[in-house]
């Protein structure tokens, strides 16, 4: 049994995407914004209340199916969560790159990033489980709070941006890479 396997020998594998886009600010200057998904109250995939409703996450994430590669799961999940039209455009996106590859005892997560135009964002079709999207700029990263035991027990306060640590790393890296473009 490797250090990535659980007692049953399975490694939980997840893939995600953080989208960034340039949007004009009030002065007409282009400002880079990250597109975060907010968890809704209900998870329609498993027909149970959402774990940590109100928690933010990367634009999408999902679990790999058996014998699925990270890349094939990436495009399947994108189609399911963001829609086929958006995913078709994403397949030809030249900025798509790996931002963070986390390997833990029983979990492996790869988060990709891509720079898209605001017009491409208009192609997104949300699934019913999505609690919506929020745009944040690089200044708001310092306001993000990591999921911790207190938040797991008491829930997410409405005025807080709460995320998992590997996703915070990916967002920071997305700003580092895409602000230069």
| Domains of the chain, CATH where assigned | 12-178 (3.90.79.10)
Q: pTM score, two decimals? A: 0.90
Per-residue pLDDT of the chain (181 residues; tens, 9 = 90+): 333 444 466 899 999 999 999 999 889 999 999 999 999 888 887 899 988 999 999 999 999 999 999 999 999 999 999 999 999 999 999 999 999 999 999 999 999 999 999 999 999 998 777 788 999 999 999 999 999 999 999 999 988 999 999 999 999 999 999 998 7
DSSP string covering 41-91: SEETTTTEEPSSTT-EE-SEEEEPPTT--HHHHHHHHHHHHH-HHHHHHHT
């Amino acid at each position: 049994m490797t250090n990535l396997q659980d007692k049953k020998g399975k490694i939980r594998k997840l893939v995600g995407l953080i989208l960034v886009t340039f949007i004009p600010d009030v002065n007409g200057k282009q400002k880079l914004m990250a597109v975060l998904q907010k968890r809704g109250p209900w998870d329609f995939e498993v027909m149970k209340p959402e774990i940590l409703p109100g928690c933010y996450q990367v634009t999408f994430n999902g679990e790999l199916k058996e014998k699925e590669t990270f890349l094939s799961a990436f495009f399947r999940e994108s189609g399911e969560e963001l829609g086929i039209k958006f995913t078709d455009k994403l397949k030809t996106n030249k900025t798509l790159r790996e931002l963070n590859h986390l390997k833990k005892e029983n979990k492996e997560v790869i988060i990709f990033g891509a720079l898209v135009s605001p017009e491409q964002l208009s192609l997104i079709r949300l699934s019913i489980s999505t609690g919506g999207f929020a745009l944040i700029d690089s200044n708001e990263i310092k306001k993000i709070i990591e999921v911790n035991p207190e938040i797991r027990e008491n829930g997410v306060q409405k005025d807080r941006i709460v995320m998992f640590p590997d996703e915070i790393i990916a967002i920071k890296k997305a700003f580092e890479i895409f602000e230069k473009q």
